[in-house]
Amino acid sequence: MHRFSKKKEPWAFSSAGLEHLPYKQRVGGSNPSTPTMILALQSVCEAFLFVNMKSMINGYTELVGLMAYPIRHSHSPAMQNEAFRKAGINCIQLAFEVDNTNLKEAVQSIRALGMRGCNVSMPNKTIVGQYLEKLSPTAQLIGSVNTIVNDNGELTGYCTDGIGYMNSLKDEGIDIKGKKITVVGAGGAATAIQIQAALDGVAAISIFNVKDKFFAAGEETVRKINDNTSCKADIYDLSDYEALRREIADSCLVTNATGLGMKPYEDVTWLPDISYLRPELIVTDTVYVPPITKFLAMAQKVGCRTLNGHSMMLFQGAAAFKLWTGKDMDVEHMKQWLKDNG
Ligand code: NAD
């Protein structure tokens, strides 16, 4: 059994939420005279808890990694560390610059160091599976791993990107089950979204991609979806504008799962013009920096409901957090924290 599954350990972080403290402890007295005083005392308590928690990295602290290259820009370690702190879990996430040249040794170090697990990102997602003992059925089908869990030296690979996307829609009250969607992209994020959507009961998925090295991966995804699920998938060349117009017109949702819209392509989108959109269409983007891509800005002009990749990032992280700790991430707290710090 892993340490996280035990009852509350004496070394576990205390929760930072002052609401969990007895009233007297929160305000430092039994009858505070003014709300201002309460706030001032709360700030002191928060500062005290923060300093204390920072010093709580100790001999029991668990480690999860994030292995990718480049990786220094990632929001994931800050997000996971805040989630661990909020949950009172004595664990930290650190980012490691790992690419295909040192991936095998890096994965071996998860076992050697007894790390709880790891996140994996580009360029390692599609390669890391061969170094693990097991893959979840979804990771197997997607052909990509973004989360590794270490159970006593046995490493299992999971893919939480698609779950993250589907949960981000659910969180917004958007239900695409039984409906048709259009997804532009055939890389790692697109494949995870397409396969998870098919597994979750989406009726039809039209995939568009440019005729680059990813197009064949898109064809493979179509084959996997049609062979393994009741969803009907098709793939088209992104330069086939007639097909793009027709498939979007039939869809309840269209999403961008390419890198267009983020650095260095901030002012670029594959959408020829806004006549392809209609106000009832839901338009989403996997990109979250910038928060409003050119694609989303065009959709907003038409009056479409839009959603960027920020909440996909949050929910894929929440799914990884649950796999490592067995606990639910406090997503409402994290939403506010990301708004303040993201
Ligand atoms: P990837 O390298 O696996 O795939 C890149 C995709 O972009 C391919 O489909 C490729 O054909 C397409 N593409 C590249 N250049 C293009 C061009 N000029 N015109 C049209 N299409 C082009 O990358 P990925 O990991 O799938 O990431 C794709 C996007 O998803 C990135 O913006 C990434 O930041 C985002 N993402 C977001 C999350 C999240 O949690 N929000 C998670 C993973 C990825």
290 and 265 Cβ atoms separated by less than 8 Å? no
Nearest-Å Rg of the Cα atoms of the chain is: 22
What distance in angstroms lies between residue 286's CA and the mean position of ligand 1's atoms? 8
**Strands 154-158, 147-151: parallel, antiparallel or unpaired by DSSP?**
antiparallel
Residue 125: active-site member:
yes
Binned at pLDDT 50, 70 and 90, residue 21 comes out as very low
What distance in angstroms lies between residue 261's CA and the mean position of ligand 1's atoms? 10
Interatomic CA distance for residues 12 and 4, integer angstroms: 10
Q: Could you tell me if the CB of 184 is within 6 A of ligand 1?
A: no
| Four-point Cα dihedral 134, 136, 141, 146, nearest 10 | -90
Identify the three-state secondary structure at position 41. helix
Residue with tokens 């989403």: 284
Query: Which ligand 1 atom sits nearest the alpha carbon of residue 261?
Result: 32
What distance in angstroms lies between residue 4's CA and the mean position of ligand 1's atoms? 34
Residue with tokens 């699920």: 229
Q: Each residue of 241-263: pLDDT tens digit?
A: 999 999 999 999 999 999 899 98
Q: Could you tell me if the CB of 144 is within 6 A of ligand 1?
A: no
Query: Which ligand 1 atom sits nearest the alpha carbon of residue 164?
Result: 40
Domains and CATH numbers, the chain: 65-159+312-341 (3.40.50.10860), 163-308 (3.40.50.720)
88 and 13 Cβ atoms separated by less than 8 Å? yes
Q: Could you tell me if the CB of 161 is within 6 A of ligand 1?
A: yes
Q: Could you tell me if the CB of 270 is within 6 A of ligand 1?
A: yes
Q: Each residue of 143-195: pLDDT tens digit?
A: 999 999 999 999 999 999 999 999 999 999 999 999 999 999 999 899 999 99
Binned at pLDDT 50, 70 and 90, residue 53 comes out as low
In degrees and rounded to multiples of 5, residue 291 shows phi and psi of -65, -30
The residue nearest atom 40 of ligand 1, judged by CA position, is: 313
Mean pLDDT value across the chain? 87
What is the average per-residue pLDDT within 125-151? 96
Task: Flag whether pLDDT at 31 surpasses 50.
Answer: no
What distance in angstroms lies between residue 30's CA and the mean position of ligand 1's atoms? 56
Task: Flag whether pLDDT at 323 surpasses 70.
Answer: yes
91 and 12 Cβ atoms separated by less than 8 Å? no
Size (the chain), residues:
342
**pTM assigned to the model:** 0.84
Task: Flag whether pLDDT at 278 surpasses 60.
Answer: yes
